[in-house]
Amino acid sequence: MKTFCSRTNPTTGVLEWVEQCEDYDYHQEIARSSYADMLHDRDRNQKYYVGIRAAVARVKARGEKVIVLDIGTGTGLLSMMAVTAGADFCYAVEVFKPMAEAAQCIVKKNGFSGKIKIINKHSTDVTVGPDGDMETKANILITELFDTELIGEGALPSYEHAHQNLVQERCEAVPHRATVYAQLVESELLWSWAQLQPVEVGGAHLVPPPDVVHCAGAHSVCDIQLSQVSPRSFTPLGPVCTMFSVDFSKLVSSSFQSHSSQFVAQSDGQAQVVLSWWDLEMDPGGSIVCTMAPSWTYTVPEKAPWRDHWMQSVYFLPEESRVAEGEQLSLTVCHDDYSLWYSLQTHRQQKPRPLPSRPCCTCQAHLVWNRPRFGELNDQRRTDSYVRALRSVLKEDSVCLSISDGSLLPVFAHMLGSRKVYSLEHSRMSRQVIEQLLEANSMKGAVEMLGLRPEQLTTNDFGEQQISVLIGEPYFSTSLLPWHSLFFWYCRTALASLLQPNATIMPCSATLHMVAVEFKDLWRIRAPCGTCEGFDVTPMDEMVQRSLDFCESHEAEPHPLWEYPCRALTPSTAIMTFDFTQQLPQEPISIQGSLPFTRSGCCHGVALWMEYHLTDDITVSTGLIRPVSEQGECEWTRHRKQGVYFLRTPWERSGEDGAVVSYSFTFEPGLGDIKMNKASTSSPCWGPEQVSLLT
């Protein structure tokens, strides 16, 4: 039976029905999870295994039968480790049905069926007793319930319930303990992701609305590869502080708690940001430690293990405050059952401040703009490019229409002298945020906000005038892959009858760019999982391999490549051009070509991005922000995600053997898709099948 699901096409904006295969959820959810990355994490696997062996030995030394409870078993790896270490029986709990089914197959293939029972339930629904899921309570509790924030996957409620209902009083726990660390810093870069800064527009300043300035911001954690944030990008205002620890071998509370750390400020600065990470102690003595600390905390940074399933966290203080070197400070972390947040107390504050509640956006801006978007809006060099382009196309009698989500371009157009400015903002919250901005700068009503779709607009909406200048960044909140912003072209085409015959379109065109790359680490998330790093089992049967081999994706995936170092092995080049001065074509646009390998290395895939040509001589890139270095080093914008197409099999190249990457791309206007057709090298590289680059 065929299954269909609805979606709004991010490129065309049209609601469409997409046929899905019968096991769609299974393939999609498992493939896009972090299981492949975890199975390749040798440091994690080895330390879990050593910790489990030690726990089993301690229980056996007490003369007890070893019964293990593994909550969140995933592939069943930790349960198999426990049985291999000598456990008598293991109950492996996995709430996600497709993954539980996969674990069942993995356990069976590796010969553990008689000693491991897969329970497809949430752990809080598991029962113990003659008719229950478990015959008896466990004396070893093994879990991997952690996320970047440690507790964001509900670890605390799960532990609390397990200690109350599923494990014995003197149970061993692996991991035994978790400890959270934090460091207070000043960082112009990181703070630009939290608050809208004043913007210079042609000598004038656009200031953020007071409600935005005083808003505590979004409550969700900002999780990033902190190792890729250079220490030059921030100033430490205090030492790395131990904030709190959780002992998993005892009853854990999921209720609200707060913990404070006192220290002396190390330097003058603006207290803005808290960098945070955690580690796991696998044994009671703390001799087996798995840490999430960023690489720049290591004496030898190259020895830091890489992982993507657990990263580091950036927390933004509710407001920035000035601190002086030598000043006594108190950093407080609060947490409920799922999230953490921080606040700062200085000695100058006469009375202790009440503990803040979890941050919640009250200005709507943090709901309209995500953190990379804040950084993009605060990028003055990028703003200067748009201002220069607008100056060159606007006239005193210009009637200007802007098409982008939550964009400041229409405000810029008004400030630069356009006679009338309209902005197409379908989102009510976006319109309200821009209206707040206009009011804060005494420009109320200067931009007329239109909440309609392009095809719904008529000349009546523009006072019987025709649009002389159509502008866009383009930026749309629904865009995932770089070419999804071609939605601007569809809007431009829908508005054709409302544009003056000689109307200016900005950007006038866009180009899709490509470069073949060698990733330092990102390749691991899509590498085949035939075996586990650090543990000698073969956990992937044919069915599971097929699902996790979405790791070798048939589609392009969006990734913020500034967080994932890579080397270019070929020149970067524009492979397809989209002319916005013309209406959307009816026929597909196809292009073929090849790129020579100019550097030695292992080609893991290709990176793809868009560059927008605002005018003939002003271009804004959503990918590389400067030419590739002689060594092949790439510097990517932090504001947008790039598209990555992983090869089925990494390809070693010497750079001197004359090999090339041949490509064939087709843009389907009716579908809004860009497809990569059969492509090859001097020996087959991509495989013969047609591959869609859109999710």
- Residues with catalytic annotation? 144, 153
CB neighbourhood size of 372 (10 A): 17
User: Can you point out the beta strands (E) in 391-508?
Assistant: 399-403, 420-424, 447-450, 467-471, 499-506
The β-bridge partners of 609 are 513
Helix 97-109 vs helix 24-31: angle between axes, to the nearest 10 degrees?
80
Q: 15: phi > 0 → left, psi -120 to 50 → alpha, else beta; which?
A: beta
CB 267 within 8 A of CB 236: yes
DSSP conformation class of 680: B
Which residue is associated with the tokens 């409600």? 211
Q: For residue 693, which amino acid is it?
A: L
H or E element: which one contains 664?
A: strand 660-668
CB 221 within 8 A of CB 339: yes
φ/ψ of residue 592, rounded to 5: -130, 150
**CA-closest candidate to residue 520, choices 570, 562, 572, 573:** 562
Q: Who's near 264: CB < 8 A, 6+ residues apart?
A: 238, 326, 327, 328, 329
d(CA 84, CA 102): 20
d(CA 222, CA 339): 12
CB neighbourhood size of 348 (10 A): 11
Greatest Cα-to-Cα distance within the chain, rounded to the nearest angstrom? 90
H or E element: which one contains 100?
A: helix 97-109
- CA angle at residue 639 from 637 to 645, to 5 degrees? 65
- How far apart, in Å, are the Cα atoms of 325 and each of 268, 385, 627? 5, 39, 40
DSSP conformation class of 354: P
Helix 77-84 vs helix 97-109: angle between axes, to the nearest 10 degrees?
30
CB 401 within 8 A of CB 471: yes
- Coil, helix or strand for 547? helix
Sign of CA dihedral 634, 314, 295, 322: positive
Q: For residue 226, which amino acid is it?
A: L
d(CA 230, CA 101): 43
CB neighbourhood size of 388 (10 A): 14
**Could you tell me where the DSSP H helices lie in 394-448?**
409-415, 428-440
d(CA 360, CA 376): 22
CB 556 within 8 A of CB 606: no
**Could you tell me where the DSSP H helices lie in 416-541?**
428-440, 487-494
CB 68 within 8 A of CB 557: no
CB 118 within 8 A of CB 103: yes
DSSP conformation class of 294: -
